[in-house]
Every structure is written in C-alpha cells, then in structure tokens.
A and B are shown apart, each in its own frame.
Chain A
C-alpha cells in the first residue's frame, strides 16, 4: 500500500496550485461579483494541457493518469469551484465518455480538438422537469433515413452558452424508461439549436449555467454516441468521471477554507488572545482538517481504482457525497471563524460557501447518493459490466 504521491504527481500538484494562485485568484472575486465567465482563462488552461489532461497523447491529450486529474480538480477548486466545473464538464462529462464509448473514428475526430481546447464541450442531461429522475425526460429523437431529429429542452447545463460541443440525451423510444434513452453529440451552429444563460445563481457565479433548446435538430448517425437505448448507461458512466473531479475539487475548496481560517485565527484577537487559542475555534479547525484528511483518502482511492481500471461507481458516489457535504460544512465553519468579515465578499470564504452548495445538488444530490449507498448494502443495486468499460491507466498506451 502506498499513500505517497509520486514525484510526477507532486510536480503536477505544485504547477496547478501555482496556476490557480497566479491566474485564477487575482480576478475571480470580480468575476463572481459580476457573474461573468472568465473567458480569458480558457486559452491559458488549454496551453497548460488541462483540457485533455488524462486523455492519451494519441488524441492530443497530455497522457497523465486519473490521480493527476484529481489533483488538477483540487487545485482549481482551491481557487474557485466554477473553474473546476469547466474541467468536470468538458473533460469528465464529455471528452472521457467519447473516449470510453466512442468508435475509433469518433475518437479520432472528436477528441483532439477537445483535448487542445479548440472545442469546449458540455453535457445536457437535466431538463426543467427531470433532474434526479432521469427517466422522466421528455427530450426525444426520431430517425429519418440516417439522420435523427432531436427536440427538447435541457436546463441547468454548465457551459451551455460557452460550449460549441454538446453531449445530450433524448428518448429514441418513448415506451421505455431509462432504456429508451440515446446519447447524441451536437455542434453549435446546427439548425434548431439555441442556448441561453440562467441569471441569479447563489454560487458558482463565475461559471456559465444555462439551457439548451433543441427544435428538430438534425443529427447525423455519425454523431450518435453508443447504441440506441444505451444513453442511460452512458450518462451514468459520465457521472463516474465527473463525480470524481467534484469530490477532488471539494477537497481543494476545504484546503483553501482551512488555510484562510488558520491565518485569520492567528491574527484576530478577542478577550486578550488570538481567537485560535479559544478551544471552540480550535475545534472548528480540527474538524476542517479531519474532513480534508478523510476526503482526500476517499478521493485518492477512487483515483487509484480508476488507474487500475476497476469499477468505482460506489466508491466515487461515496467520495462525492462525503467530500461535497464536508466542503459545505467546512466553508460554513470558515465563515464562522471569520465572524462578520467572513460574511462579506472582502474575504473568499463566503464565495466558497455559496459555491459549495451547488456541489451537493449536481452530479447526484446528497439524497440520491445515500439511496445508492443503501441500495448497494441491501443488494438492490449491483454494477454489471458495461459494453465499453473505461480502461485502466496504461502509460504505454496513454503516452504513445
């Protein structure tokens, strides 16, 4: 058993944190205040190879492993959740699923521009009337010749107004529930496809969240991902990737909150001593560290499982549930340590608190994860092998 990061991982960690500190932190508070998307960051992230960090070099990725993907997510969310979201969605929910489920032709065609950041991609599963209950979706696709006509509305879609590539899910068979769902790869500019932005979000205000409207969008068969009816399985496997980045990111958010709280608790004095000398404040700090340590263990284990190519749906769900709830509690405690100052946007902890609430909702609400965990225990849920499994990390394959 080895809990050490390798030298390579330590270098990735340092570089990502340097990037977060120098490129994201200086402007993120302004973006958050104004609700603007930091477009200027995308080319920088792309130049660093972030957009395809764990895609193989043969598809223009950086050829790194899943632990590196976790470290990237952690470092980005240390600065702001919205930037990590971009990686979760673009890579976790779009590019990696193409790598897992796509035909070789689709991989060669779609992955390189995603890996280099030439294309930015999103994932449209949720609808105005269907979130946790995926089978309730009403988006539909009917086939005419070798073209599908896709219609429906997707809601709460991260990057909807920024992306130029869309992985969307629609029913090809209305009679079936989850088995009637099929996955499609749409492109901006196609007839009948429009997008918009949702305003007034509580947090992740520097992220773009919006809707996708599809009105008989013609989608060639070459842009169907997987088989007809395989969409639900694909969507769930997408979540196995992205939930890992969400969990890892939550650890980064907690680390920021702890650092800020320790530094503040050293300086701020009440009743003749630094507040860090009061036992109840110490308790808040100790609990933050506890959550970070346990969350990090859960995340690293999932990264290891992914590198081994072992099924990790349950462990990923557990890590996501634990880390995001912990991040919400930690950010709240961090605001508490800062007192009234923490309640103002002069300090970053209130931004982290608002951000952290989003992650206990998306990628499966905390309630859904609890149902999943219990269902595994009662034997109501088992993970059957998929037609296309995500392969384990093989440096030979990834780097050549």
Chain B
C-alpha cells in the first residue's frame, strides 16, 4: 500500500501557556511541534503499513523549520518525508494550501490511502484535508475513530466516524482520504533507532518550480481568506443597571438578552 500522511507543524500550545504571557499563537517564534492531531495521523499510517506492507510518505507544507516535524515523522517510522516549502507559499489559505498539497501528491505518484488529522491546532479550520479530497476527487471519510477493515486487495476501507452524538460506520472504495480523531490509537514515541535514522536523513524540499506552480497561484495573493485576528480575542464588557420592580425588570432583562442574542 502507498500511504500518504499529511503532517503540519504548529506552535506548541502547551509550551505557550507555560512560557509566554498573553498567549499569542503567532507564526513566528516559540517552540513548534508536530500538530498534535497529526501524531494520530502518523500512527494510523504506520500501523496500516505494518499490517499491509508498502510505504508511508509524510507530506508537509510549511516553512523550512517544518522539516523538524518531518524528522519526528521519520523517527516514528514513516519511510519517506517530503517538505513543500517556498517563500511564495506563505500565508496561503486552506484552499490554496490544498491545491499545493494536491500538486505535491501528484508528484509523489499513486496512492491508496491519504491520512490527515481532524484539524490543525493553529488555524483549526479542519478544511484543508476536505479540500484535498475534493480536488483529488477521492472519497473523504472524516473524524475516523476506528478502522474496522482496511482491505487493499478488495480496494475498500471501512471506518467508524465519531460524530457529535453518534458513531457512523462508513465503507468506501480506495483510494480514499481519511481524517482521524484521537480515539483512533495511541501514538508511539519516536524510537531511539528511529531518531538516529531521522537525524541522518536529508529531507527533499519541493518548491513552486518543482511542482510546476506559478508564484501567483500560491500564497496570500492567491488566497481568498486573510487572517487578521488577534489572539486572544479582545473582550468587551460593560455593566447595565435595570431599574423598576421585579416584574418589569425581568421583562426588560429578557428583552435585552434576546436583543444581545444570548437567548
């Protein structure tokens, strides 16, 4: 089986709260880690390879430092890793990122299964993987909590999706793209032998030119979504006193709450 694991590098939110005042999830500075959800991605991909043979390629779009995340993937046990990185790609929105990833997947070649995490903890859009599946024209099975049956010979996959108030078992043909939630497995730690190999590995970096993309097709200019939010969001609060007897005050209070869309 050829498996592609989509991996993102994100700020380490655990470290942020401990080490910085007024948490700002900015792209620059601060410790960075494998997107925690993608640890489950990697574990799922590696387990599938351990069971069915073949190869896992970890694919990451990000700045040069994101190679670190791929080293972790290699140390955990993926066979190959590719970093897609080009200064022109900075500030791509999820759809543009998906287009870039699809170009890279095309360059990797045929695949049976693509695995991604349920979201990345920085942007938290949970959109990129969905868009990758749509652009590739392969079935998407999202929020997978359990792989019931992965059958490369029969070209099918059966998975249990974790929905808000239900579990849904879905069977799909392969190739397919699945996104996984943390209930699916217990990610392994990188092994020492894996670390030794990963430290020595050199990770190929694919730029726009390598993917046949024009610089105008990527990055902020090609993106419809622009991120302007300040984190943490500003909080506005004020106090309003309601006069009158209990009955009138209650009526006014309910009106105000409806007005403010609280109820």
Contacts and interface: CB of A to CB of B under 8 A. Distances in A.
Contacts of B196: 8, 63-64, 399
B71 interface: yes
A396 interface: no
Nearest to B75: A11
B192 A49 contact: yes
A12 B192 contact: yes
B138 to A, nearest CB: 33
Contacts of A259: 18
B72 A49 contact: no
B18 A63 contact: no
Contacts, number: 42
Q: Of residues B72, B192, B195, B199, which shows the largest number of chain A Cβ atoms within 10 Å of its Cβ?
A: B192
A62 B75 CA distance: 13
Main secondary structure of the interface of A (DSSP, over half): helix
B190 A15 contact: yes
B39 to A, nearest CB: 10
B258 interface: no
B72 A11 contact: yes
A8 B189 contact: no
Given A11-B75, A263-B18, A62 B199 contact: no
B195 A8 contact: yes
B208 interface: no
A343 interface: no
Contact of A19 (B71, B72, B189): B189
B193 interface: yes
B189 A48 contact: yes
A263 B18 CA distance: 7
B18 A7 contact: no
A53 B199 contact: no
Interface in B175-200: 189-193, 195-196, 198-199
A270 interface: no
Interface residues of A, number: 20
Q: Of residues A12, A19, A63, which shows the largest number of chain B Cβ atoms within 10 Å of its Cβ?
A: A12
A15 B71 CA distance: 12
A27 interface: no
B18 A48 contact: no
A325 B75 CA distance: 36
Nearest to A44: B189
B189 A12 contact: no
A193 to B, nearest CB: 33
Contacts of A263: 18
Interface of B: 18, 21, 71-72, 75, 189-193, 195-196, 198-199
Interface of A: 6-8, 11-12, 14-15, 18-19, 48-49, 53, 62-64, 68, 259, 263, 266, 399
9 contacts: A11-B75, A11-B198, A48-B192, A53-B192, A63-B192, A63-B193, A64-B196, A259-B18, A266-B21
3 pairs of A and B residues whose beta carbons are closest in the complex: A8-B199, A62-B192, A49-B192
